[in-house]
């Protein structure tokens, strides 16, 4: 009856890692991310007849995942960040002074963004979707994706104490670092 190569469910396994990466960028908590991927897989499996063959399965799966995430956030209205997790450990670590944005500072700023901002940044900036694909997944206009992306970037820069056009490469002074450390704790 079933030709395995024609069943999109056989392709799901290939998308587990990207789904986890996307889920973690929304939840910032690995256990919650894995639960979210699990729910997504079950929904995808049971609703596979709603998937149009030949279209982008990864985008379809990402759409299920983000919709599942937001409906659960709306239901529970709980803090999904991981205040006592790996990120808290890095609060007092000095950033690199090698002219790069310190990755731990970046992670800390990223954690403080809203899920909507993290989502759009990861979809556009990291997972390789186009504005058009992201707009379809998020069910908003392309222009909304673009403006949300630029707001999210600006917010991220602000959280890292990088004003527009400021040179990020001379290093951050110690006072700012102390404030950043504190704001990290307050946010957590």
Partner 1 sequence: MLNKAGSKKKMYPDMADSNPKSKIMGQIDENLKRIYNETLNEQVPDKLMQLLDQLRKKSDQAAADTEGDPS
Which of 126, 141, 179, 185 touches partner 1 by CB under 8 A? 126
Helix (H, G, I), strand (E, B) or coil at 133: helix
For partner 1, the closer CB: 161 or 177: 161
Count of chain residues binding partner 1 (CB under 8 A) = 52
Cα 36 to Cα 28: distance, rounded to the nearest angstrom: 12
What tokens were used for 2? 């079933």
Which of 26, 32, 41, 177 touches partner 1 by CB under 8 A? 41
For partner 1, the closer CB: 74 or 123: 123
What tokens were used for 92? 């007092």
Compute the least distance from the CB of residue 29 to partner 1, in Å: 12
Cα 6 to Cα 11: distance, rounded to the nearest angstrom: 9
Q: Does 51 bind partner 1 (CB under 8 A)?
A: no
Cα 54 to Cα 154: distance, rounded to the nearest angstrom: 37
Instruction: Return the residues of window 65-104 that contact partner 1 according to CB under 8 A.
Output: 100-101, 103
Cα 120 to Cα 146: distance, rounded to the nearest angstrom: 9
Cα 164 to Cα 151: distance, rounded to the nearest angstrom: 12
Q: Which residues in this chain contact partner 1 in the complex, by CB under 8 A?
A: 1-2, 9, 11-13, 16-18, 20-22, 24-25, 30, 33-34, 37-38, 41-42, 45, 56-59, 100-101, 103, 106-107, 110, 121-122, 124-130, 133, 153, 156-157, 162, 164-169
């Amino acid at each position: 009856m079933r030709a395995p190569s024609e069943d999109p469910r056989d392709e799901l396994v290939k998308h587990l890692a990207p789904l986890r990466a996307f889920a973690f960028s929304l939840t910032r908590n690995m256990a919650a991310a894995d639960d979210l991927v699990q729910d997504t897989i079950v929904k995808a499996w049971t609703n596979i007849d709603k998937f149009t063959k030949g279209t982008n399965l990864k985008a379809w799966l990402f759409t299920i995942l983000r919709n599942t995430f937001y409906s659960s956030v709306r239901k529970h209205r709980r803090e999904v960040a991981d205040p006592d997790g790996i990120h808290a450990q890095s609060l007092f670590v000095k950033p690199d002074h090698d002219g790069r944005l310190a990755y731990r500072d970046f992670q800390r700023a990223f954690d403080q963004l809203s899920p909507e901002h993290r989502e759009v940044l990861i979809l556009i900036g990291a997972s390789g979707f186009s504005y058009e694909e992201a707009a379809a997944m998020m069910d908003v206009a392309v222009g909304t994706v673009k403006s949300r992306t630029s707001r999210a970037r600006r917010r991220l820069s602000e959280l890292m104490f990088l004003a527009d056009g400021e040179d990020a490469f001379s290093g951050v002074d110690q006072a700012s670092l102390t404030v950043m450390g504190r704001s990290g704790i307050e946010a957590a």
